[in-house]
Amino acid sequence: MANYTDPFLKDILRRTKVIAVVGVSMNPVRPSYYVARYLSLKGYTVIPVNPGHAGKLLFGQTVRASLSEITQPVDMVDIFRRSEAVPPIVDEALSFFPDLPTIWMQIGVEHPEAAAKAQARGVDVVMNRCPKIEYQRLFGELRMGGFATGVISSRL
């Protein structure tokens, strides 16, 4: 697993405003649902992407079938798909968002070749991490023993 510095991860989470979540579920018990919901509650605009649910509403946004259906700039593509599904997602992201700053692959999702391709285009890549967990860890929201370890803020 790659070692990402805390300042690197904090910078990504601070500069990001719009996140396309690829592979989001409509099921509230699925990690992709509750991570996307958490990020939306933190003030990020979360654009859900899942062809099986295209056209439905989730977190105040219309679910898109693919990244190519998103008409606004995106700061992060968060991938909730198996590692073998990553290359075409990265290709689509690089094609439709020429100024994309970040591609983030969730826990258990890694594809070094796709990551290298994105990095060669100047995109920051995070693999095998969760932005919800990193946000909580870096900004003092992790709860230990029932007590918050820091002040909870709505946005940085």
Find the CATH number of the domain harbouring 106: 3.40.50.720
* Residue 53 CB coordination number (10 Å): 17
Query: In this model, does residue 155 exceed pLDDT 70?
Result: no
Place of tokens 């509403």: 57
With 0-12 / 13-18 / 19 or more C-beta atoms within 10 angstroms meaning exposed / middle / buried, residue 85 is middle
Q: Please count the structural domains in the chain.
A: 1
Mean pLDDT of the chain: 91
pLDDT tens column, 61-106:
999 999 999 999 999 999 999 999 999 999 999 999 999 999 999 9
- Residue 1 included in any domain: no
Please give the share of the chain, as a percent, with pLDDT higher than 90: 87
pLDDT at residue number 143: 59
The answer to whether residue 127 is domain-embedded is yes
**pLDDT the model gives residue 2:** 74
Which residue range forms the structural domain that includes residue 41?
A: 6-139
Instruction: Specify the pLDDT at position 4.
Output: 96
